[in-house]
Amino acid sequence: MKRIPPQLVAKLEKRIQSNSLRQLGSTRSPIDFSSNDYIGFSKSQAIFDETHEYLLHHQWNQNGATGSRLISGNHPVYTVVENEIACFHQTESALVFNSGYDANVGFFSSVPQKGDFIFYDELCHASIRDGIQLSNAKAYKYTHNDFEDLERLIQRCQTELVEVYIVTESIFSMDGDTPNLEELTTLTEKYNCHLVIDEAHALGVFGDKGEGLVQYLELQDKVFARIMTFGKGLGCHGAAVLGTTDLKTYLVNFARSFIYTTGLSPHAVATIGIAYKNLETQSQSIEKLRNNITVFNQQKKLAGLQPMFVRSKSAIQCAIIPGNEKVKNIASQLQEKGFDVKAILSPTVPEGQERLRFCLHSYNTEEEITELLNTLGSLVFL
């Protein structure tokens, strides 16, 4: 078997030397503080059973559909589910993609045109950055959640001949913090910009029915496009771009990550629809998650750990522990005590910003949260 080129071996060796080599994780510890399954939908027997009953009721389980949705993959369940998603999120249309990565790459590579400007938060997800790199628009990052910096960029580049796209996330995946969306929508309206918000880590977490932060703040009519990812709060595959009907039509015609790929299976799409229906009825799970977020913030303060944490009111809580070796060591000790906690290393985050990333869930108990933070305190205050 032919070996990989020496340059690739050297890059791997560099990762090993810096103690930052990525590896597939082993079996999880019993107490989950690492997955994005915020309200437990991925392990829901009810959703599993309801999906099969839904397909059987419509006799859709007998109609297999594989291929691009523009050829043979546009199963009838897509139309039903996309309409339900659009209604749930109070928008004109929804277009389902195979993943959040595909949705972001498809949107940003095709919608902004040559000569347009994209201004994106410096901590935006890699999928957004990759999509922007494939775009012909000019792109500049602004300081994290700093709208004075953003406004300076807009003023420097704005003309009547181009479109300006402002890109951020409602919940940032590595910090768990959120921008001031009311202020941001005011700014984008002032300069007639197109605001695009990735809501991957807000779906299932914010809003009475887990609609996301934009709807929770009643800002949906002020946002050009939202990207909703289902692999977090909904516990299943796929994502959707929300926007106008014209935007959906444009993406169907020009988003290459939509056009040139096999669509999700009917079962996967039906699972998305059933997960949304469960959001309507699982308010107790969402409320339990919110309570756990409150408990976590209270307990980290009582344990004297608050200064090391990034301020967050979301299900993502991060403790900054600089140095790959140090943070990996603490994560390993927590795992040995039964807590599934992951270390986030550089270069995934900037050097010196290495961290423990805690993901909270509706199924975590208050006792587990308290024990976790007390254990963390005993390790960092040695």
Average pLDDT, the chain: 93
Neighbours of 302 (CB within 10 A): 13
Q: Which amino acid appears at position 233 of this protein?
A: G
- Cβ neighbors of 382 (< 8 A, separation 6 or more) are none
The predicted pLDDT at position 177 comes to 96
Q: Percentage of the chain with pLDDT > 90? A: 84
Predicted confidence band of residue 231 (pLDDT cuts 50, 70, 90): very high
pLDDT at 210 over 70: yes
C-alpha distances in Å from residue 20, one per residue of 23, 27, 176, 203:
9, 20, 22, 31
C-alpha distances in Å from residue 225, one per residue of 62, 169, 295:
35, 12, 33
The predicted pLDDT at position 2 comes to 83
Residue for token pair 């669509």 = 263
In DSSP notation, 12-54 reads: HHHHHHTT-------SPPSEESS-S-TTSGGG-HHHHHHHHHH
**Do strands 93-97 and 239-243 pair parallel, antiparallel, or not at all (unpaired)?**
antiparallel
- Cβ neighbors of 192 (< 8 A, separation 6 or more) are 164
The predicted pLDDT at position 29 comes to 62
Give dist(CA 326, CA 346) in Å, integer.
12
pLDDT at 27 over 60: no
**Do strands 117-121 and 138-142 pair parallel, antiparallel, or not at all (unpaired)?**
parallel
The predicted pLDDT at position 28 comes to 62
Peptide bond into 347 cis (omega under 30): yes
Give dist(CA 220, CA 89) in Å, integer.
8
Asked which of 11-20, 284-293, 353-362 is least confident by mean pLDDT, the reply is 11-20
Contact 374, 303 (CB under 8 A): yes
pLDDT in tens, 236-266: 999 999 999 999 999 999 999 999 999 999 9
What own/partner pairs with CB < 8 Å and gap ≥ 24 does 72-76 have? 73/262, 73/263, 74/263, 75/263, 75/266, 75/269
Q: Percentage of the chain with pLDDT > 70? A: 96
CATH of domain 29-41+283-380: 3.90.1150.10
pLDDT in tens, 162-206: 899 999 999 999 999 999 999 999 999 999 999 999 999 999 999
Which has the higher per-residue pLDDT, 18 or 195?
195
CATH of domain 63-281: 3.40.640.10
Contact 177, 169 (CB under 8 A): no
Q: What is the mean pLDDT of residues 7-21?
A: 89
pLDDT at 289 over 80: yes
Residue 175 sits at φ, ψ, to 5 deg, of: -120, -30
Domain boundaries, the chain: 29-41+283-380, 63-281
Tokens of 339: 């807590």
Strand, coil or helix: 284: helix
The predicted pLDDT at position 307 comes to 96
The residue ranges of DSSP E strands in the chain, in sequence order, are 31-32, 93-97, 117-121, 138-142, 164-169, 194-198, 225-229, 239-243, 316-320, 339-340, 342-344, 355-359
* DSSP-assigned beta bridge partners for residue 169: 198
